[in-house]
């Protein structure tokens, strides 16, 4: 193993920590989050500080950074005032539209319209989902953690999911090729998820068998 370059996080600037984290914690899934403001106007923005943290209760988490002047992004403000949001998974087909939704438009601009995406009314919450996304999760704010002056982690409980019928079966398996999700890498990088393979977790006895056959293989080739 070659040497490691180590970093003491207590000595790093915010930007340096950010660059190490987003460069090495990859690929991150991308949530294209739809919300509405108090006047019911739709908003959409991508977040890759995003993941699924629990299945029961079903919890999705978003890490939202404030603007430089510490003002809330539209997504955070809308969730604070309405208590709901929808996570739309970003597939390769809507990658460019997702990037349009990241443009720093002012409040009240409907990014879905700008990006040519179709809003569909929510089933459980008064917040639209995106028709073109292969999987959408309607969430009710569970708790928001104010982890610093400029950041919050928003946990949402999933109330409903809408998955393209062609990619989910009656055993609740979602076809990863059909989903075709995009991952976020460091900088402005992205990755596709088409290099997919299965690797089931072994039982202890399967692991023992595996070790025995590897040892037998070594004896044979010696």
Ligand X SMILES: Cc1cc2nc3c(=O)[nH]c(=O)nc-3n(C[C@H](O)[C@H](O)[C@H](O)COP(=O)(O)O)c2cc1C
Choose, by CB under 6 A, the member of 65, 92, 157, 175 that binds ligand X: 65
User: Does residue 27 bind ligand X (CB under 6 A)?
Assistant: no
User: Does residue 73 bind ligand X (CB under 6 A)?
Assistant: yes
33 or 168: CB nearest ligand X = 33
User: Does residue 183 bind ligand X (CB under 6 A)?
Assistant: no
Dihedral of CA atoms 211, 217, 220, 222 in degrees, nearest 10, equals -90
Which tokens in the block code for residue 216? 């037998």
Choose, by CB under 6 A, the member of 19, 49, 161, 164 that binds ligand X: 49
Q: Which stretch binds ligand X (CB under 6 A): 8-16, 96-104, 129-137, 194-202?
A: 96-104
Which residue, chain included where needed, has tokens 């708790």? 143
Cβ atoms of 20 and 4 closer than 8 Å: no
Q: What is the dihedral sign for C-alpha 130, 97, 53, 167?
A: positive
36 or 163: CB nearest ligand X = 36
**Alpha helix segments (H runs only) across 90-183:** 95-101, 111-115, 176-179
User: Does residue 102 bind ligand X (CB under 6 A)?
Assistant: yes
User: Does residue 88 bind ligand X (CB under 6 A)?
Assistant: no
Could you tell me the smallest distance in angstroms from the CB atom of residue 45 to ligand X?
3
Helix (H) or strand (E) holding 51: strand 50-55
Choose, by CB under 6 A, the member of 43, 82, 86, 88 that binds ligand X: 43
Choose, by CB under 6 A, the member of 34, 42, 74, 84 that binds ligand X: 74
Q: Which residues contact 206 (CB under 8 A, 6 or more apart)?
A: none
Cβ atoms of 47 and 31 closer than 8 Å: yes
User: Does residue 184 bind ligand X (CB under 6 A)?
Assistant: yes
Q: Which stretch binds ligand X (CB under 6 A): 44-52, 138-146, 192-200, 207-215?
A: 44-52
Could you tell me the smallest distance in angstroms from the CB atom of residue 123 to ligand X?
23
148 or 217: CB nearest ligand X = 148
Using CA atoms, how far residue 140 sits from 70, 73, 125, 171, 216, in Å, is 24, 18, 8, 26, 55
Per DSSP, the three-state class of 112 is: helix
Instruction: Give the residue from 138, 131, 51 showing the smallest Cα distance to 91.
Output: 131
User: Does residue 104 bind ligand X (CB under 6 A)?
Assistant: yes
Site for ligand X in 126-165 (CB under 6 A): none
Instruction: Point out which residues bind ligand X (CB under 6 A).
Output: 30, 43, 45-49, 63-65, 73-75, 99, 102, 104, 184
């Amino acid at each position: 193993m070659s040497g490691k370059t180590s970093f003491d996080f207590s000595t790093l600037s915010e930007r340096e920590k950010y660059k190490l984290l987003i460069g090495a914690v990859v690929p991150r899934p991308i949530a294209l989050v739809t919300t509405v403001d108090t006047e019911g106007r739709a908003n959409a923005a991508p977040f890759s500080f995003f993941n699924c943290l629990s299945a029961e209760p079903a919890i999705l988490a978003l890490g939202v950074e404030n603007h430089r002047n510490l003002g809330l992004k539209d997504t955070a403000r809308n969730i604070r005032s309405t208590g709901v949001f929808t996570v739309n998974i970003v597939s390769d087909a809507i990658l460019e539209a997702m990037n349009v939704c990241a443009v720093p438009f002012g409040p009240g601009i409907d990014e879905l319209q700008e990006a040519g995406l179709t809003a569909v009314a929510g089933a459980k919450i008064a917040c639209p989902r995106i028709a073109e996304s292969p999987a959408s999760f309607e969430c009710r704010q569970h708790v928001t953690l104010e982890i610093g002056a400029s950041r919050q982690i928003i946990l949402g409980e999933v109330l409903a999911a809408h998955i393209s019928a062609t990619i989910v079966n009656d055993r609740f398996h979602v076809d990863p090729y059909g989903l075709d999700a995009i991952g976020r890498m460091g900088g402005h990088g992205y990755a596709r998820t088409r290099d997919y393979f299965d690797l089931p977790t072994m039982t202890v006895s399967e692991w023992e068998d595996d070790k025995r056959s590897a040892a037998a293989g070594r004896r044979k080739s010696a």
